[in-house]
């Protein structure tokens, strides 16, 4: 009987070694979420897109809608073509005649909560976020300085850019 138990123990030991469980296998899960960034101003978005806004009031803010959807912290930069070309602030200018201009102010509600912040041309401002994920619907205000101006068509082009923080 003792021999039988020893033989059984040996078989169990050999069997356990011969039929041991497989080594553990790891499965590493990962995914890549591509960055997304869509800015819409006055109903228009996309590369090389533009929108026109005619302002017929002086001294009264004109509200323009904008939205931003994205998934990484960003800055919003607005650049005036006239301010860049003539080293000035925001101005509507009669084409080719920088001495004929209407100054204007641009104020942006960066978080959609109704508080407008004056903006300087070419200055990037962080869009507020605690998570880096945006689904922002907001507005900006453009106010032409009140005054008397010569007859003509006054224009400026604003370029809106999203930059990484």
Which domains occur in the chain, in start order?
37-164 (2.60.40)
Of 19-33, 92-106, 118-132, minimum mean pLDDT range: 19-33
Of 1-10, 57-66, 127-136, minimum mean pLDDT range: 1-10
The per-residue pLDDT for 10 is 59
Whole-model pTM: value is: 0.80
E strands, the chain, are 37-41, 44-45, 62-70, 74-80, 91-94, 97-108, 117-118, 123-126, 134-144, 154-155, 158-164
């Amino acid at each position: 009987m003792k021999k039988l138990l020893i033989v059984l123990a040996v078989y169990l030991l050999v069997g356990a070694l011969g039929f041991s469980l497989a080594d553990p296998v790891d499965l590493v899960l990962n995914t890549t979420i591509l960055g997304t960034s869509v800015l819409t101003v006055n109903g228009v978005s996309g590369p090389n897109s533009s929108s026109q806004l005619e302002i017929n009031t002086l001294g009264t803010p004109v509200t323009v809608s904008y939205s931003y959807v994205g998934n990484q912290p960003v800055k919003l930069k607005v650049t005036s073509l006239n301010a860049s070309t003539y080293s000035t602030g925001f101005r509507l200018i009669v084409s080719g005649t920088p001495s004929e201009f209407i100054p204007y102010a641009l104020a942006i509600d960066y978080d959609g909560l109704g508080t407008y912040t004056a903006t300087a041309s070419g200055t990037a401002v962080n869009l507020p976020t605690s998570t880096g994920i945006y689904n922002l619907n907001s507005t900006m205000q453009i106010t032409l300085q009140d005054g008397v101006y010569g007859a003509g068509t006054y224009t400026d082009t604003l370029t809106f850019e999203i930059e990484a923080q």
